[in-house]
Amino acid sequence: MKPAERLEVPDTGRLNAALCAALDRLDPQVVIESGTYLGTGTTRALLRALGARRPRRFVTIEVSASLLRQARTNLADAPWIECVWGMSVRREEAIEFVKNDPFLRELDPNIDIFVDFLPDPAAGYLAELQGGLGGESSSDAPDGLLEQLLPLHAEDRPLVALDSAGGVGYLEFRETVRLLGENPYGLFLDDINHVKHYRSKLHIEADPAFTVVDTSWDEGWMVALANLR
Ligand SMILES: C[S@@+](CC[C@H](N)C(=O)[O-])C[C@H]1O[C@@H](n2cnc3c(N)ncnc32)[C@H](O)[C@@H]1O
């Protein structure tokens, strides 16, 4: 276990190639992202890979109103991206998840992943959720947005990018798998070498419904397709 360092996904040619390959195979009509931050990391990587392609919708969700304002400015060249204020999952469910997550309570020191708030990550992630994620005003943010958006677009071959808070990454992943079921979809995960998506990565590698397009442990990302043979 080691303290987490970076927020933005690294901008590399290998990630761009993986996203382009996934877009070619999936041909998504919709892109849905959780964890916009400044709009300059995963959102920009997706935009670059899309190139001239224009999905019907590109929704990016950010719980912090002030970060979302900055992201809108940073994404002014792509005004068709819907920057939505809110929480991906239900707040109460996220709190229960972090409170009861055995992985956080009994951290295995032999697993070489990044974790925030050491030595008590569960307390830190809980305080984050209870104290208003991302700063001011986020405790009033609408929640459960994946639950609204994913069923609406389940048949649109959605590409789903998950990169929000460390404590709820795996909950977001499980929600995505549950809500999209057997429909074809793509996943772009950032922070697979972090508590955020380490278990999501293990799930994808073990589940025959998924095909990994490419993944980089050092860069921390995975691009995969589900239910596409
Ligand atoms: C690691 S940063 C995202 C980095 C960004 N994807 C990039 O590559 O630049 C996580 C962001 O998710 C936001 N966030 C945390 N929990 C969230 C949730 N449940 N729903 C939506 N946004 C969330 C935080 O406010 C923060 O801006």
Q: pLDDT tens for residues 148-202?
A: 999 999 999 999 999 999 999 999 999 999 999 999 999 999 999 999 999 999 9
Q: Nearest-CA neighbor of 97 among 181, 174, 151, 160?
A: 174
Residue 160 vs residues 15, 19, 88, 227: alpha-carbon distances, Å: 15, 11, 12, 14
Start-to-end Cα distance in the chain: 36
107 CA to centre of ligand 1 in angstroms:
23
β-strand partners of 85: 62
Q: Is 60 in the pocket of ligand 1 (CB under 6 A)?
A: no
68 CA to centre of ligand 1 in angstroms:
10
d(CA 129, CA 172): 14
Higher-confidence residue of 34 and 11: namely 34
Per the CB < 8 A criterion, the answer to whether 36 and 44 are in contact is: no
33 CA to centre of ligand 1 in angstroms:
9
The b/e string for 26-57 (b: 16+ C-beta within 10 A; e otherwise) is: bebebbbbbbbbbbbbbbbbbbebbeeeebeb
In one-letter notation, the amino acid at residue 136 is E
35 CA to centre of ligand 1 in angstroms:
3
Q: Nearest-CA neighbor of 89 among 127, 61, 117, 131?
A: 61
Per-residue pLDDT for 1 more than 70? no
pLDDT at 138: 67
pLDDT at 135: 59
As given in the structure block, the two tokens for residue 50 are 């899309």
pLDDT at 132: 64
Per-residue pLDDT for 83 more than 90? yes
Q: Is 187 in the pocket of ligand 1 (CB under 6 A)?
A: no
Per the CB < 8 A criterion, the answer to whether 125 and 103 are in contact is: no
pLDDT at 133: 65
* Ligand 1 atom with minimal separation from the 138 CA: 25
List pLDDT tens digits, range 8-23: 888 899 999 999 999 9
pLDDT at 220: 96
pLDDT at 4: 73
As given in the structure block, the two tokens for residue 220 are 């921390």
How high is the mean pLDDT of the chain? 94
d(CA 145, CA 173): 13
List pLDDT tens digits, range 108-149: 889 999 999 988 999 999 988 887 666 555 678 999 999 999
Q: Is 89 in the pocket of ligand 1 (CB under 6 A)?
A: yes
Q: Could you write out the DSSP letters of every residue in 33-90? A: EE--TTSSSHHHHHHHHHTT---SEEEEEES-HHHHHHHHHHTTT-TTSEEEES-SS-
Could you give the angle at which helices 145-152 and 169-180 cross, rounded to 10 degrees? 30
63 CA to centre of ligand 1 in angstroms:
7
- Once rounded to an integer, what is the mean pLDDT over residues 98-107? 92
Residue 189 vs residues 34, 69, 218: alpha-carbon distances, Å: 10, 24, 13
pLDDT at 134: 62
d(CA 220, CA 214): 11
Output the pTM of the full model. Answer: 0.96
- Once rounded to an integer, what is the mean pLDDT over residues 45-61? 98
Q: Is 123 in the pocket of ligand 1 (CB under 6 A)?
A: no
